[in-house]
């Protein structure tokens, strides 16, 4: 039987200790004009380098004039290319303000990075772009910037994905919102010569770009918060594990990260790299041949790897085989319970949703008898983890069975998948963070807005269900015709994000919102987002997941 729980994260397919940026390893950054360097120093910036905005749609930056377009009555939009990258090479920061894809129309949005499921005209390999959303009436005091990293299992998604218009979020938080793109799939993760983490380097180039330009828009380059959902959240966790990225951002927001998977280790990456290279008609050192390959050829080989990676190395998973690699050079720690946790200091927000696993479980099975529970779990976990799980009161409905009640095993599997891939693994991460010097604020969404595509699964349209991705439009304030509960939660989360971006604390000063306490080393103090009170601990006790039942990253030693 297919190890169905390893497919759960596929739901994402539906959709400077100083103010100066730190260069990426092995990247040559061209010199910035002296005025640009000077104006990135906060004190000088406030006194001698005021914003040089000509109008709301024309902004002079250290790398040229930015031309924007009206996005809403309260905010403007600036699409821009932040870096260039020849195929399978490190990104090079731009030295001039350039519209994406050689566009001349300032209203044009960037094409997506190459990915399956899109017409070739919808994507471009020249895709390292971002969209800045800037409120019309920012104060004279520099404001923070939020950089959003989209999800999509590392193989799909873009800055123009559903619900990702950042205008409402920017206006509500009185900040600049930047939604970024990065290389996907094989182009971002499977460098034939054995290099790793190109997509991570893209994000570092994006943050370096923001450090240069946001002062011109009214932003404070020392207050950059990175945020993202699903695989985008996974990349944020990877950025937290990159020492050379630390000076590029201040705080981090992690939404629905499948932390159970862990980062790939070099051995698993090499196994997959060898397989991928074997699908190509070029040697790994023949740059001319590799550059001549069509995107369709690369994507076809990528999807072949995607479908078979789990059989090559189980730690790859069936859901996110191409992902950040703990290479010891860029990413230097596992940042989980499989190795010593480093000292940390940045404040983080960590959230999940009520029914993370529902899209996969209810999307793959119309019904599932109780008798199927054991074989499905065993196919995923093997022994002895399966015996501990099926005999646990957390997932065993023996009392109901004894009473002759018919049980749909999908209910148990959804709870199990949500716990081990997302919720409990996130809580373990928060405890580790708190135990090693950092502050972590943990929450779970019990109100959501059905993300486009989620309505294909009936369970996700039922009252009270909150499926993977259903937090996105809440945060961005892009829910169509929101209910009172949705509108209230959007207002709350945007107020909390505004506070967190400025102070590292999601409790706005003087607010009537319920207090959100930081996680401790045992109790993570997770709050209900959209409800009142605390999230029940249940199986997320420190003595169960990670102890009695090991996470995948512990089981596979990654």
Average pLDDT, the chain: 91
What is the rounded distance in angstroms from the CA atom of residue 314 to the CA atom of residue 526? 31
Look at the alpha carbons of 155, 158, 163, 164 in this order and tell me if their dihedral is positive or negative.
Answer: positive
Comparing CA positions, the residue from 158, 162, 59, 151 lying closest to residue 110 is: 158
Comparing CA positions, the residue from 426, 417, 469 lying closest to residue 5 is: 417
- List Cα–Cα distances, 127 to 91, 419, 429, in angstroms: 11, 35, 32
Quickly list DSSP for 268-303: HHHHHHHHHHHHSSS-TT-HHHHHHS-HHHHHHHHH
What is the rounded distance in angstroms from the CA atom of residue 225 to the CA atom of residue 144? 8
pLDDT digits over 277-326, tens only?
A: 999 999 999 999 999 999 999 999 999 999 999 999 999 999 999 999 99
509 DSSP 8-state letter: T
Same fold, 16-242+312-316 and 329-555: yes
Three-state SS for 547? coil
Residue 94 CA from chain centroid, whole number: 24
The residue assigned the tokens 């009473």 is: 403
| Amino acid 30: pLDDT | 36
- List Cα–Cα distances, 545 to 398, 414, 550, in angstroms: 21, 16, 6
Which are the contacts of 555, defined by CB distance < 8 A and separation ≥ 6?
385
The count of other CB atoms within 10 Å of the CB of residue 373 is: 23
| Amino acid 476: pLDDT | 98
pLDDT digits over 71-127, tens only?
A: 999 999 999 999 999 999 999 999 999 999 999 999 999 999 999 999 999 999 999
What is the rounded distance in angstroms from the CA atom of residue 414 to the CA atom of residue 357? 5
Residues in the chain: 558
Which are the contacts of 117, defined by CB distance < 8 A and separation ≥ 6?
13, 156
Q: How many CA atoms lie within 13 A of 318 on its CB side?
A: 13
What is the rounded distance in angstroms from the CA atom of residue 384 to the CA atom of residue 389? 9
What is the rounded distance in angstroms from the CA atom of residue 112 to the CA atom of residue 505? 34
- Considering the segment(s) 16-242+312-316 as one domain, its CATH architecture is 3-Layer(aba) Sandwich (3.40)
Comparing CA positions, the residue from 220, 271, 160 lying closest to residue 19 is: 220
Quickly list DSSP for 411-444: HHHHHHHIIIIIIHHHHHHHHHHHHTT--EEEEE
| Amino acid 407: pLDDT | 83
In CATH, 329-555 is 3.40.50.1820: yes
Q: What pTM was computed for the model? A: 0.91
Answer yes or no: is pLDDT of 140 > 70.
Answer: yes
| Domain range summary for the chain, segments of one domain joined by + | 16-242+312-316, 329-555
Q: How confident is the model at residue 558 (pLDDT cuts 50, 70, 90)?
A: confident
pLDDT digits over 407-440, tens only?
A: 899 999 999 999 999 999 999 999 999 999 999 9
């Amino acid at each position: 039987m297919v190890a169905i729980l390893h497919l759960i994260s596929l739901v994402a397919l539906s959709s400077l200790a100083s103010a100066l940026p730190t260069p990426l390893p092995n990247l040559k950054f061209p010199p910035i004009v002296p005025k640009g360097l000077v104006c990135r120093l906060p004190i000088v910036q406030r006194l001698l380098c005021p914003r040089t905005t000509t109008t709301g749609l024309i902004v002079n930056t250290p790398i040229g004039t930015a031309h924007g377009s009206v996005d809403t009555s309260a905010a403007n939009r600036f699409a821009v290319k932040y870096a260039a990258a020849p195929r399978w090479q490190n990104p090079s920061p731009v030295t001039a303000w350039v519209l994406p894809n050689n566009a001349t129309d300032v209203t044009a949005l960037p094409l997506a990075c190459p990915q399956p499921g899109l017409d070739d005209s919808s994507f471009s390999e020249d895709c390292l772009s971002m969209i800045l959303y800037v409120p019309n009436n920012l104060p004279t005091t520099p404001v923070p910037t939020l950089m959003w990293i989209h999800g999509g299992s590392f193989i799909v998604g873009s800055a123009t994905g559903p619900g990702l218009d950042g205008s409402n979020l920017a206006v509500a938080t009185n900040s600049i919102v930047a939604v970024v793109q990065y290389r996907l799939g094989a182009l971002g993760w499977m460098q034939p010569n054995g290099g790793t983490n190109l997509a991570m380097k893209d994000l570092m180039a994006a943050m370096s770009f923001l450090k240069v330009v946001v002062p011109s828009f009214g932003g404070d380059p020392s207050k950059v918060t990175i945020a993202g959902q699903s695989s985008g959240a996974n990349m944020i966790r990877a950025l937290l594990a990159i020492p050379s990225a630390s000076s590029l951002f201040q705080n981090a927001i992690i939404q629905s990260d499948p932390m159970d998977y862990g980062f790939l280790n070099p051995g698993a990456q090499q196994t997959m790299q060898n397989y991928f290279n074997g699908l190509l008609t070029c040697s790994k050192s023949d740059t001319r041949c590799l550059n001549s390959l069509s995107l369709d050829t690369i994507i076809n080989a990528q999807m072949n790897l995607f479908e078979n990676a789990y059989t090559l190395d189980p730690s790859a998973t069936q859901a996110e085989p191409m992902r950040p690699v703990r290479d010891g050079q860029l990413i230097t720690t596992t940042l989980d319970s499989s190795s010593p946790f480093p000292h940390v200091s940045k404040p983080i927000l960590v959230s999940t949703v009520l029914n993370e696993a529902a899209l996969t479980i209810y999307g793959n099975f119309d019904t599932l008898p109780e008798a199927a529970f054991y074989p499905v779990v065993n196919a995923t976990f093997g022994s002895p983890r399966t015996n501990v799980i099926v005999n646990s009161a957390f997932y065993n409905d023996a009392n109901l069975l004894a009473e002759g009640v018919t049980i749909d095993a999908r209910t148990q599997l959804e709870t199990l998948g949500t716990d081990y891939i997302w919720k409990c693994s996130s809580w373990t991460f928060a405890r580790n963070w708190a135990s090693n010097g950092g502050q972590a604020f943990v929450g779970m969404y019990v109100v959501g807005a059905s993300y486009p595509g989620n309505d294909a699964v009936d369970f996700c349209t039922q009252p009270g269900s909150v499926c993977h991705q259903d937090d996105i439009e809440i945060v961005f304030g892009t829910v169509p015709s929101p209910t009172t509960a949705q509108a209230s939660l959007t207002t709350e989360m945007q107020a909390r994000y505004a506070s967190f971006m400025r102070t590292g604390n999601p409790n706005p000063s003087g607010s009537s919102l319920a207090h959100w306490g930081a996680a401790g080393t045992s109790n993570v103090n997770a709050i209900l987002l959209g409800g009142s009170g605390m999230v029940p601990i249940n199986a997320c006790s420190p003595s169960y997941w990670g102890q009695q039942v090991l996470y995948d990253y512990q089981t596979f030693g990654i």
